Amino acid sequence: MTAQVITITSGKGGVGKTTTVANLATALAADGKKVVCIDGDIGLRNLDVVMGLENRIVYDIVDVIEGRCKLNQAMIRDKHYPGMYLIPAAQTRDKTAVSPSDMVRICNDLRPNTDYVIIDSPAGIERGFRNAIAAADRVLVVTNPEVSAVRDADRVVGILEAEEKGTPYLIINRLNTALVKNNDMLSAEDVLDLLGIHLIGIVPEDESVLIGSNRGTPVVTDVKSRAGQAFRNISRRLQGQDVPFMELDSQSGLWTAIQRLTGRK
């Protein structure tokens, strides 16, 4: 196997990068793939808690770079999926402890024995972001249907194009269909038209995402969750399958209200 290195980035913070990494990695691992996640947010590590692995950390990525441990010693195996690993960020260092060439080297070491390396980029467009995209074969930009997130996503897309990383794919996260229907939220079509890049997934706003993070169990494992379904679809698209986009309208409206009232949802 030769891994595909996928970086998840956004420009703006808080749009759901870490959640996306945890969910896509889990979905790929559930499909039997060998997946290594790398938390690229040095000094502000979070992927460990979202994945529920915070109590198992011994070594981190800076320990690997500075030679205090071997790469596989910093790879924390997931509790549920033996094919999924996390390389945590260092918490007491800053982004200057890692260079783009360090990231390239680590990813190249992982490539022969891995299907997917998924890198969680920090917010911003500085060093941490440059590190996160250095080794990427493919970049996914996460945004929310909201003015500041879309503007920052556009900046990031521009930088990726200037760096000849190719045109990234877009994930629109936390889309609220009721607000879109009422024309009080940018629709997926609006966001796509503004950014001018290809879509790889739309994740509806769904409280089960927060519940999953609270428990350290990504929502993608919840078969009833709409957001979980959206992440499963994205992971299949990453694997080259042609998966139609979900019909998001069915989530709102009278029929759902009736289903809710009668306890069917």
Partner 1 sequence: MRFFTRNKSATSAKERLQLVLVHDRTDLNPAQLEALKDDLLKAISQYIDIDPDAVQIGLERDGRSQRLIADIPLRSVSRHRAG
Point out which residues bind partner 1 (CB under 8 A). Answer: 146-147, 150-151, 154-155, 157-158, 161, 167, 179-180, 182-187, 190, 194, 196-197
Distance CA 177, CA 63 (A): 44
Closer CB to partner 1, 184 or 242, in the complex? 184
* Distance of closest approach, residue 161 Cβ to partner 1, in angstroms: 7
* Distance of closest approach, residue 223 Cβ to partner 1, in angstroms: 32
Side-chain-facing half-sphere of 87: CA atoms under 13 Å: 25
Closer CB to partner 1, 176 or 235, in the complex? 176
Three-class secondary structure of residue 108 per DSSP = helix
- Report the Cα–Cα distance between both ends of the chain, in Å, rounded: 41
Closer CB to partner 1, 11 or 122, in the complex? 11
Strands 116-120, 198-204: parallel, antiparallel or unpaired by DSSP? unpaired
* Distance of closest approach, residue 247 Cβ to partner 1, in angstroms: 20
Distance CA 230, CA 173 (A): 10
* Distance of closest approach, residue 167 Cβ to partner 1, in angstroms: 7
* Distance of closest approach, residue 49 Cβ to partner 1, in angstroms: 32
Q: Are 143 and 10 in contact (CB under 8 A)?
A: yes
Closer CB to partner 1, 148 or 241, in the complex? 148
Closer CB to partner 1, 31 or 154, in the complex? 154
Closer CB to partner 1, 66 or 163, in the complex? 163
Three-class secondary structure of residue 232 per DSSP = helix
Distance CA 26, CA 19 (A): 11
* Distance of closest approach, residue 196 Cβ to partner 1, in angstroms: 4
Phi-psi region of 159 (alpha: psi -120 to 50; beta: other; left: phi over 0): alpha
What are the backbone angles phi and psi of residue 65, rounded to the nearest 5°? Answer: -65, -40
- Retrieve residue 56's tokens: 């198992």
* Distance of closest approach, residue 52 Cβ to partner 1, in angstroms: 36
| Alpha carbon separation from 175 to 35, 57, 99, 146, 230 (Å, rounded) | 27, 34, 35, 9, 11
Closer CB to partner 1, 196 or 253, in the complex? 196
Distance CA 50, CA 213 (A): 5
